[in-house]
Structure formats: structure tokens, C-alpha cells
Amino acid sequence: MSIQIDMTCILKDKVREENTALALGSGSLRVYGTPAMMLLVERTAVTLLEGNLEPGMTSVGTSLNMEHVAATPVGMEVSCQVWLAEIDKRKLVFEVEVRDETGLIGKGSHERFIVQANRFQEKADGKRKS
């Protein structure tokens, strides 16, 4: 693996009607929805790891601990930055900040585990047979 502490990645998203709290069912307002922010966090961590894991390996999200501290209206851009803060065998811990054009809107941490992709998928698919 070529992952190491302090690796960082930034992804951006535009607040659109379809990712508002109202559209996602997580509230009644036309502001960036918390589920959209959580998805952006996971996408950013996954992007950071792309090409840095051994062949046949992938990562799965296991924990997402975020505070959504400010609202962002439709039309604004948000950016998510993740830093790889800890590597504990197969467990990866990311620190996260999400900002809009005026400042911090979200902060927290995200954990992912490195798994063998085929074996993990087979185990999950095996649940249907039971």
C-alpha cells in the first residue's frame, strides 16, 4: 500500500435543488442536506484512496461522526477536505472539514476499513441465500 498519514484530498459540490434537505427528506428547507454532506465526505475519502490500495483491495465506511454547523443555500459551492490522520492495520481514520464560500459548515471524523473486495462482496451476497 502507498497510503500514509497526512495524505489529503478535496472534492467540491454545488448546492442544487436535488441535494437540499427538502429534496432528500432530511428537513423542510432548501439548504444543503446533511445526507448530501455525508456522501461528499465518503466520496472524498474514497477518492483519496483510489490507486493507493493493493490490487483487489477496497475500503468500506464504518463510522461517520460529523457536525453540520451552518446552512448553505442553493447555488453556493461546498468543498470537503479529508486528512488521513491515523492508520491502525486495516483501519483508517480521517479528519474532515466541509466549507462553503463563507466558512466552516461541517467538521468531524470518518473511519474506513481496508477489505479484500471479492471476499467482502461474496460474504454480503451470501446473506440472500440464508
| Catalytic residue flag (residue 20) | no
| Catalytic residue flag (residue 42) | yes
Question: CA-CA distance, 97 to 70, in Å (whole number)?
Answer: 12
Q: What are phi and psi of 101, to 5 degrees?
A: -70, -10
State the catalytic residue, choosing from 8, 18, 20, 34. 34
State the catalytic residue, choosing from 20, 42, 72, 110. 42
63-104-49 Cα angle (round to 5) = 40
State the catalytic residue, choosing from 20, 44, 68, 72. 68
Q: For the chain, what is the total number of helices (H) and then of strands (E)?
A: 3, 5
| Catalytic residue flag (residue 95) | no
Question: CA-CA distance, 48 to 40, in Å (whole number)?
Answer: 12
Active-site residues: which are they?
Answer: 34, 42, 68
